[in-house]
Structure 1
């Protein structure tokens, strides 16, 4: 089975990897069929774990390879592509947050952000929030497989697959974070599940864009990898960590974040 996967084109590998990450979002959302309420400590732990995975992936799967690529290309200052791409990724997400109406799952309607956000219904705003923040995750997987397609020494198929696995694992609480609040507010199980899994649909699309862009424009790779890293760190700092600590489980969420970071670090180093 693994040999069959390795024999596929990078585009097909990317699609399979992000279908897995989307499926994990759907799996989390499917929990609405078993319960209406979800243990808050478990939810905060899952969000903390997601934050740790994303931070580790941002460095080992994205920033570090970007610097290595710049060094291989004999760039005078190898840190420039990483720094520029990283900052631009964060600025891009910040700008999108100001434009697209959205609401973080744990927030009140008065905290809705974006243009005309107060005029939208809660379910739409929550789905848009997770959807927006899934874009850099999809891009990250796409550019990782694109780096393999470009046959760069610092890129490996196992590292790209590890990134997809890590993002898939952390997508499970995202599905829960959208579906459960909707269910508690009286929405049917089917609709809650539909909106919860819908937020993960953007990842395969973003990944395809990422892999195609870097496959045909090699010089973009260090910038694209760093861009995805910056966007992911923005999401962690702006939403994931605050969301995991809002209900008072700060120590628990922080320790689970460290566990998530360690597991993703091991995956990246051992498989990469």
Structure 2
């Protein structure tokens, strides 16, 4: 099984790199998605051909092969969104605040309506909440040791009025460190979300590869706003396209990593109850990060009313995405 996973990962990287090259040329244009889908089609037929030849080896090799490739396809589309973001100039503070609010909505929807909700349904109300708030408390303690950049919004506004354009530039410089901190938090949250998503892809494909192209397309569309949410604040804060692209890449790699790790850990050493509890804790961590860091930043930059609208728009968008993903899965499986 070890060599099969390594071979599958190597082959999926080759396929993923080919789609990434098209992404760079097309800037997120639809042929990227068509190439991903076509390659997944090839893998689907290839694994079934192997299954006819040898049922024993095909199920293990084909499932890992398909699972890693599907996750790499989602990584490619997430990178295409990051590339689309960094091709344009950094946004102004109000637009950044709106996008931070949108990203906060994505994170809250994932935390409460996906991870925590599924855990409560699987392991019960009490255990699900204990795991969830355990994650909140755990990261709340960690946050006390993380230095946070601070600034005085009122004095910044006065400085802008006095100094005109130069004052506006000074404001942006003062705020970039805080935006960078928020961007790193977003990348961590998206990575934590992508990891169990990769695990779900593997567990779904191991059931006979019936998830197929619907799952590949659904997760690809599901990851579109995530690449934007990760790349945008990093690009704004660092003014470096490479840094934005690099962090989006790292966050996307959580999915194929989830496939590889679950191939070794599940089901021999990781019970379903513990797995659901850990995912609930991830939801608690994401909720804390969003409410503690991202929402205040959105309020400061876009104003409370506009930021709240952006938050609910992000929640609605992610809820629709999760629903689309759910109906794409077989009846006996859920994310």
**Post-superposition offset of 1:143:** 0.8
What is residue 238 of structure 1 aligned with on the other side? 292
2:116 to 58, 63, 78: 63
Matched, 1:18 2:75: yes
1:175 to 223, 231, 240: 231
Could you give the per-residue CA deviations for residues 188-216 of structure 1, whole angstroms, max 9, x where no partner exists? Answer: xxxx2122223323313443444444452
SS of alignment partner, residue 225 of structure 2: helix
**Post-superposition offset of 1:3:** 7.2
RCO (CA 8 Å, sep 6+): is it higher in 1 or 2? 1
Q: Distance in 1 between matches of 2:38 and 2:114?
A: 22
1:150 to 192, 203, 215: 203
Provide structure 1 residue ranges, at least 5 long, that are not aligned to the other structure. Answer: 71-77, 110-121, 184-191
Q: Is the 8 A contact 1:43 1:173 kept in 2?
A: no
Could you give the per-residue CA deviations for residues 99-126 of structure 1, whole angstroms, max 9, x where no partner exists? Answer: 55665xxx549xxxxxxxxxxxx98986
Change (3 A) 1:200 1:131: farther
Equivalenced residue count is: 236
- In angstroms, what is the RMSD of aligned CA positions? 3.6
Change (3 A) 1:5 1:148: same
Q: Where do 1:1-272 residues align within 5 Å?
A: 2=37, 4-5=39-40, 7=44, 9-31=66-88, 35=89, 38-70=91-123, 78-99=124-145, 103=149, 108=151, 130-151=183-204, 162=218, 165-183=221-239, 192-215=240-263, 216=266, 217-219=270-272, 220-247=274-301, 249-272=303-326
Q: Distance in 2 between matches of 1:66 and 1:143?
A: 12
Which shifted more, 137-146 or 5-14?
Answer: 5-14
SS of alignment partner, residue 301 of structure 2: coil
TM-score, normalised by the number of residues in structure 1: 0.68
Q: Distance in 1 between matches of 2:298 and 2:178?
A: 19
Provide structure 2 residue ranges, at least 5 long, that are not aligned to the other structure. Answer: 1-33, 45-64, 153-174, 327-335
SS of alignment partner, residue 277 of structure 2: helix
Q: Distance in 1 between matches of 2:219 and 2:113?
A: 9
Could you give the per-residue CA deviations for residues 37-60 of structure 1, whole angstroms, max 9, x where no partner exists? Answer: 523332222111111122222233
Higher helix proportion: 2
Q: Is the 8 A contact 2:186 2:230 kept in 1?
A: no
Change (3 A) 1:52 1:127: closer
Change (3 A) 1:129 1:268: closer
Change (3 A) 1:50 1:214: same
What is residue 25 of structure 2 aligned with on the other side? none
Q: Distance in 2 between matches of 1:164 and 1:141?
A: 12
Change (3 A) 1:59 1:214: farther
Change (3 A) 1:56 1:249: same
What is residue 113 of structure 1 aligned with on the other side? none
**Post-superposition offset of 1:262:** 1.3
What is residue 171 of structure 2 aligned with on the other side? none
**Post-superposition offset of 1:218:** 4.1
Could you give the per-residue CA deviations for residues 6-27 of structure 1, whole angstroms, max 9, x where no partner exists? Answer: 7453233233323433443343
